[in-house]
Homo-oligomer: A and B are copies of this chain.
Amino acid sequence: MNRTIKICYIGGGSKLWARIFMADLAVAEGMSGEIALYDIDREAAERNAKIGARINENPKTNSVFEYKVYDRLEEALSGATFVLLSILPGTFKEMRSDVHTPEKYGIYQSVGDTAGPGGILRAMRTVPLYEEFAEKIKKICPKAWVVNFTNPMSICVKTLYDVFPEIKAFGCCHEVFHAQELLTVMLKELRGISVDRSQIYTDASGVNHFTWITEAKYQDMDLLALVPEFAAKFGEEGYFERAGEDRFAFKTDPFAYGNKMKFDLFERYGALAAAGDRHIAEFLPNNWYLKDPETVKEWQFGLTSVDWREQDQEKKIADTIEMAEGRKEFPVEKSEEEAVDMLKALLGFGTVVTNVNMPNQGQMPQMPAGSIVETNCVFSNDCVRPVVSKPLPAGVSNLVHRCCVNIDNAYEGIRERNLDKVYQAFVNQPLCNCLTIKESKELFREMCLNTRKYLEPYFDLDAYFV
C-alpha cells in the first residue's frame, strides 16, 4: 500500500520539531508526496527544506517526500491531507515578559506557556492567529486532518473547533509518554521486568500539561501500586526517568526533574500526574512548588529562563545550518514521538491508541462538555474517537475542572476581545492567587502593555488601561 499525501507544516521553520518529524516520516513506510513548509521566517523553512532533501538521500529513508517552501499560506494549504501547526506567537521578547514579569510580583513560572499569567498572555497572542488558520482551513482544505503542537495547547484546539466546528483536529503532546517511561522504570527497578512503554496500558486524562494517570497495567500487574515503593526508595534523591539520560539530570538541565512532586501528589491524591513536573506545578497554588527558586530546587525541578532558551535556540539554529549544509550528519531514525504513527493510522495503516487533545464529548463526563481534554483516543482510517477515561479522584477532578473552566473563560474573553473577561480568567489562575486585587490588575496591565505590539491589532488596550 502506498498513500500519496500533502502535509502542510505551518511553522515549518521549526528549529527542532520539524526535523524530528521529518525523520520519523522518512523511516515510516508506504507514503510519498509533498511537505509544504510555511513560516513567517522563510529562511528557517528553507533550511528545513534542505535538510529534507538530504533525508531523501539517506539510505534509511523509506518514504520520500518533496519539500517545498511557500510564501502564501493559502497555497501551502491547498490540497493538504494534513495540516501541522507548530508556531511561536511573538518573539523571545514577549516570552520574556510572559515568564519573568510575574516574578516581580512573586510569581515564578517554570515554563510560562500554558497555565499561569504567562499562559494567558500567550493565549491572547495566539488565539487571533488560530482564528485565521481555522478560517483558511475551512475554506481551502476542510477535510484535512489538523494536528496542533503549539502551546497553550487547549486554547489553540478550542479556537480551531469554535471557529470551524466540523474541523478534523486534535492536539498532540509527548508529556504523558514520559510518565509512561517512569512506570516502566519502576517495573524494572522494583521487579526486574524490562518492558517498553508500548507494552503497558495507561489511562491518562485531564487537560494538556495537567493530565493524570488513574490506571496503569502491565498484564495484570497494577503499576500505580508500585509508586509508593518507588518513592520510598528513590524519591528523596530524585529520579529522572528519560531513557538515555542521567537519573540526576535535573540538577543541571532545566527540562529535567526528579519526580519528587509527582510522588508528593500521588501520596495526597492517589493518581500519578502525567506531565513533567515543571508543567504540573503551574496548575497548582504557587506556594506549593513554585514559591521561590529555593522551593523549586528542593522539589527537584527548574525554572526555564528565557536567557537559557535564547542560547539554546542559537545552538539549535547553528545545528540546523550545519545539517542543512551537510556539514553535520542528521540521523534518520525513529524518535519517541508518535505523530507519524497517528498520521499513518489515519491513512489506513492499522489502529493506534494514544493520548491527544480533543473537545470533551463524553470522554470525561466529570468535565464540561466542549472543554478541550486530553485522553486516550483511537486512530484508524480517517477517524479519531476519544476513549472514555476512568473518573479522576474527587480531589484531582476539582483541580482539573477549575482549570477547564479557566481555559474556557479565557477563550471566551479573547474571542470577544473583552479584556474584563480575560482578566477574570487571569486572576483565577492558581498561580495568581498570591496577588492582591490591586497587584493582579497591575500585573495584567504590565504584561499586556509589554506585549502590546502583538495585542493591539486585536484588543483596545488604550481604552482599557486608561
Contact = CB atoms under 8 A, between A and B. Distances in A.
A218 B348 contact: yes
A219 B381 contact: yes
A150 to B, nearest CB: 24
A385 B376 contact: yes
Question: How many of chain A's residues touch chain B, expressed as a range?
Answer: 35 or more
A399 B405 CA distance: 10
A220 B376 contact: no
A395 B378 contact: no
Interface SS, A side: mixed
Contacts of A288: 436-437
Interface in A261-295: 264, 268-269, 285, 287-288, 291, 295
**Tally of this chain's copies:** 4
Interface string A49-91: 0000000000000000000000000000000000000000000
Interface string A387-415: 11110001101110110011011001000
Interface of A: 3, 143, 199-201, 203, 215, 217-220, 264, 268-269, 285, 287-288, 291, 295, 347-348, 351, 353, 361-365, 369, 376, 378, 380-383, 385-390, 394-395, 397-399, 401-402, 405-406, 408-409, 412, 420-421, 423-425, 428, 430, 433-437, 439
16 contacts: A3-B219, A219-B382, A220-B348, A285-B433, A291-B436, A361-B365, A376-B378, A376-B385, A378-B378, A385-B388, A385-B390, A387-B388, A395-B409, A398-B409, A401-B405, A402-B402
